[in-house]
Structure 1
């Protein structure tokens, strides 16, 4: 398998989960434990790589409801924090929560999800520990947004534009792309126009 090609040898446990979500809000986690694949209902819709989902769910259940969210960077702290914030984040940005009163509904939802995820992004504190990417799914519009560690510009894939019937036209997209612009250049004319409006 892939682990042998990477020189890792056979693995009994792969310290990550595969998340599958659908438009109804249902979430499934796939874990690889003791050399076997396990499919688990993930009622919280939150995942971090390790430990296994059942342990994470037990820890969330054991957290008192009015206790402050943990502030650490362990997988468990980030899992509990996102589960707690996700539970109370029921509205997006609107006139009361944002300076941009004209934000569209999809922009509001994506922005809210991005803010939630940014509370658990692992900063680059060592070469082996950091968040590599963030993914936000919009099931209604069939869009996938992603952001890489070295490029905070949000990028979108419109899944309705993908030709799913012809495997020869399908391709992968790099999450980390050195060609992608990593900033928006505000030209002097644009800034003057903004200032006059």
Structure 2
């Protein structure tokens, strides 16, 4: 959830590779505390061979690691150039996305508290402190193509105190996944409650 430090990243990746007999290892960092870039660079130096990231750091909460930063960070700080990358085209891609208004939420913003991923919300159900490092604010659960039944369980049981059956949660998940792909957007808790009252999930 974005709280790992560069020092621990290097140690953990090194140890994992040693224990796994140098099996290929990938990393995926979020930027909740602004350390995604340094954590990723240290992971690569420690031996990680795969990076999961996005252009401009677009992603859930405060975003993922910006790939353009990783590529140029490896190039200028460590002299590592990745084969098959057109470095001249990186700025064209990022400028185009920026012109569309695409950018991640800054750390500590309200958007950084939003969770759509079902695996994150499942973690909340098991441990309220998982994926949550801002004790002053409650997480905001959203609903989309990456959501699971846990999203609906969290909303109806933890927030509305109106438990439903597992079958109903699964039905809601399936309909919202399909609907969110059609609409190309996520849905807020208020929208889910409104759809529920309208009988949208009864079919």
Q: TM-score, normalised by structure 2?
A: 0.30
Higher RCO (Cα < 8 Å, 6 or more apart) = 2
More helix by share: 2
Q: TM-score, normalised by structure 1?
A: 0.31
